[in-house]
C-alpha cells in the first residue's frame, strides 16, 4: 500500500482553463508540487471506483482553485491526526469537496456514484473533520464568466496580498492584467525577469546621456521594468512554475539593477555638468547598498535556500510579530524595495533632480544597513519557510 495518492475529479461539463492551464492539468501539477507522486484523473461517475489503494487519498475536484499551501496544510493535518476523513471548507464554511481520506474511509465510499454523495455518506457513517484555512486562497469555479475576476484575485493573493505596501500595490495594478495575458502564452517567468532587467539596463543607458528628457525616458523605462519585476512572480505562481533558479535569477537581477541605475545617473551628471558634486554620496550609496545586498543575500540563502521566492513575505510577517524595532523594520523595508525606488526615480526625473537622488540613496542605505544588522539575528532564529517541493510530508 502506498503512503499518499491523489485523485483529480474532472468535471463532465465544458472544459475550462485557469491561468492558461487546463483545470485537471493544473490540479495534477498542484498535487505533485505538494509531494504526491501517485496522481490519477477520473470523471465524477463512480469516481473512487478505481482510486489507488493508499494510506491517505487526497480527493481534489478540478473546479476548486487553491494554492499549494492548502494541500500541504491538509496533508500534514491528516498524517498527524490520523482522521478518518477531513474536508476543506471555504470562507463561508461550505464544503469544497477537497478531501483527505484514510484507507478505511475510501473503502466505505468506493462504490458511490458521485463525489458529493460519498461525502454525505461519510458524514453519516463516520466523523468528518472540517478544515478552515482563512489565510489560504480557496475558491470554486461555478461558471466560465467568473474566471477573469478569480484569476485576478488569485494573482494578487499568492503574490503578497494585503501585506504589501502602497507602492507595490500600485505596480500590481498594472502587472496583474499583464500577467493574465502572459499566462496564455508560452512565455515563462524567467523570460519576464530577463526582459525586466533589460529594461533596467536601457534605463541606465538613458540616464547616462544626462539631459532632462533622457532622465524622464529612463525613469519610465525603469518603472516599466518594475512592472515586469512583479509580473515574473505572478506568471511563475500562476503557472505553478516557481523554482529556486527563477527566484535567485530575479534576486540577482534586482540587485544589479540598482547599481546599473546609479552608474547611469553618475555618468549622465558628469557628462552634462562636466563635473559631479554627488560623487561622495554615490560612493557611500554604492558601498552601503553592496553591504545590504550581501547581508540580505546571505540571509536569504541561510533561511530560504529551498524556497527563496517566499523569503520576502515570510520575513515581513515575522518582523511584524517582533519588538518595536522589528516592526519598524517591517515598515521601513518598504522604502528600500524596488517598487518605492521606481516611483522615486520618476519623481526626481520629472523635477529635473535625478543626480540629487544619490544623497537620498546614501542616507537611506545607511539607515537600512543599521536596521538590517539589528534584525538579522531574529531572522536567522525565527523565520521558517516551507520548501517548494517537499520530500514527503512530516
Percent of the chain with pLDDT over 70: 98
**320 has pLDDT over 90:** no
Write the DSSP string, 255-272: HHHHHHHHHHHHHHHHHH
Give the mean pLDDT of 110-114. Answer: 90
**91 has pLDDT over 90:** no
pLDDT of residue 80: 77
Q: pLDDT tens-digit profile of 178-190?
A: 999 999 999 999 9
- Output b/e per residue, 221-239; b: 16+ Cβ within 10 A: bbbbbbbbbbbbbbbbbbb
Q: What is the CA radius of gyration of the chain?
A: 24
DSSP letter assigned to residue 41: E
pLDDT of residue 18: 94
**86's grid cell:** 477531513
Spatial neighbors of 361 by CB under 8 A, at least 6 apart, are: 262, 281, 285, 289
DSSP H or E run through 348: helix 338-350
Domains in the chain with CATH codes: 2-140 (3.90.550.10), 159-382 (1.20.120.1760)
Q: Partners of 132 in the beta sheet?
A: 89
Report the chain's terminal Cα–Cα distance, integer Å: 18
| Inter-CA distances, 296 with 11, 289, 368, 376, 384, Å | 46, 10, 11, 9, 15
Q: pLDDT tens-digit profile of 49-83?
A: 888 899 899 999 999 999 988 998 888 887 777 78
d(CA 264, CA 300): 28
More confident residue, 13 or 217: 217
Do residues 224 and 199 lie in contact, with contact meaning Cβ atoms separated by under 8 Å?
A: yes
| Residue 116 banded pLDDT, cuts 50, 70, 90 | confident
Degrees, nearest 5: CA angle 377-382-387: 120
Give the mean pLDDT of 361-367. Answer: 91
pLDDT of residue 391: 47
d(CA 148, CA 283): 47
More confident residue, 254 or 307: 254
| Inter-CA distances, 394 with 35, 73, 305, Å | 11, 11, 19
Q: pLDDT tens-digit profile of 295-316?
A: 999 999 888 888 888 888 888 8
3-state class (DSSP) for residue 6: strand
**37 has pLDDT over 70:** yes
Write the DSSP string, 218-287: HHHHHHHHHHHHHHHHHHHHHTT---HHHHHHHHHHHHHHHHHHHHHHHHHHHHHHSS-TTHHHHHHHHH
| Inter-CA distances, 253 with 248, 260, 262, 351, Å | 9, 10, 14, 28
DSSP H or E run through 100: strand 95-102
Percent of the chain with pLDDT over 90: 54
Residues composing the chain:
394
**171 has pLDDT over 90:** yes
More confident residue, 142 or 196: 196
d(CA 91, CA 136): 10
d(CA 57, CA 48): 10
**13 has pLDDT over 80:** no
Spatial neighbors of 45 by CB under 8 A, at least 6 apart, are: 12, 113, 114
| Inter-CA distances, 391 with 34, 48, 387, Å | 9, 26, 9
**323's grid cell:** 519588538
**9's grid cell:** 475529479
Plot region of 40 (φ>0 → left; ψ -120 to 50 → alpha; else → beta): beta
Task: Choose the weakest-confidence range: 41-45, 82-86, 344-348.
Answer: 82-86
Amino acid at each position: 500500500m502506498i503512503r499518499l495518492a491523489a485523485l483529480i475529479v474532472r468535471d463532465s461539463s465544458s472544459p475550462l482553463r485557469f491561468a492558461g492551464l487546463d483545470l485537471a492539468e493544473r490540479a495534477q501539477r498542484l498535487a505533485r508540487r505538494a509531494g504526491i507522486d501517485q496522481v490519477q484523473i477520473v470523471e465524477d461517475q463512480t469516481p473512487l471506483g478505481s482510486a489507488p489503494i493508499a494510506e491517505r487519498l487526497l480527493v481534489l475536484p478540478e473546479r476548486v482553485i487553491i494554492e499549494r499551501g492548502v494541500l500541504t496544510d491538509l496533508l500534514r493535518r491528516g498524517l498527524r491526526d490520523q482522521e478518518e476523513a477531513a474536508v476543506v471548507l471555504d470562507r463561508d464554511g461550505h464544503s469544497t469537496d477537497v478531501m483527505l481520506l484514510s484507507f478505511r474511509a475510501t473503502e466505505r465510499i468506493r462504490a458511490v456514484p458521485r463525489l458529493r454523495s460519498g461525502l454525505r455518506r461519510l458524514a453519516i457513517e463516520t466523523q468528518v473533520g472540517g478544515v478552515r484555512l482563512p489565510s489560504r486562497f480557496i475558491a470554486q469555479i461555478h461558471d466560465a464568466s467568473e474566471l477573469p475576476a478569480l484569476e485576478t484575485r488569485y494573482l494578487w493573493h499568492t503574490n503578497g496580498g494585503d501585506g504589501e505596501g502602497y507602492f507595490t500595490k500600485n505596480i500590481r495594478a498594472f502587472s496583474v492584467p499583464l500577467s493574465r495575458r502572459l499566462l496564455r502564452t508560452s512565455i515563462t517567468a524567467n523570460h519576464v525577469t530577463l526582459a525586466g532587467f533589460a529594461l533596467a539596463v536601457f534605463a541606465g543607458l538613458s540616464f547616462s546621456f544626462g539631459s532632462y528628457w533622457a532622465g524622464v525616458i529612463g525613469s519610465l523605462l525603469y518603472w516599466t521594468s518594475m512592472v515586469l519585476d512583479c509580473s515574473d512572480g505572478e506568471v511563475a505562481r500562476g503557472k505553478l512554475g516557481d523554482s529556486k533558479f527563477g527566484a535567485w535569477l530575479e534576486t540577482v537581477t534586482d540587485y544589479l539593477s540598482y547599481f546599473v541605475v546609479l552608474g547611469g545617473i553618475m555618468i549622465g551628471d558628469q557628462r552634462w555638468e562636466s563635473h559631479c558634486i554627488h560623487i561622495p554620496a554615490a560612493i557611500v550609496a554604492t558601498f552601503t547598498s553592496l553591504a545590504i545586498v550581501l547581508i540580505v543575500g546571505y540571509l536569504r540563502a541561510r533561511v530560504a535556500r529551498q524556497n527563496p521566492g517566499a523569503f520576502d513575505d515570510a520575513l515581513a510577517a515575522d518582523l511584524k510579530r517582533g519588538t518595536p524595532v522589528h516592526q519598524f523594520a517591517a515598515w521601513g523595508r518598504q522604502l528600500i524595495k524596488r517598487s518605492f525606488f521606481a516611483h522615486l526615480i520618476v519623481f526626481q526625473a520629472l523635477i529635473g533632480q535625478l543626480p540629487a537622488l544619490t544623497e537620498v540613496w546614501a542616507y537611506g542605505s545607511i539607515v537600512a544597513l543599521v536596521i538590517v544588522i539589528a534584525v538579522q539575528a531574529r531572522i536567522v532564529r525565527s523565520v521558517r519557510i516551507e520548501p517548494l517541493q517537499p520530500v514527503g510530508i512530516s
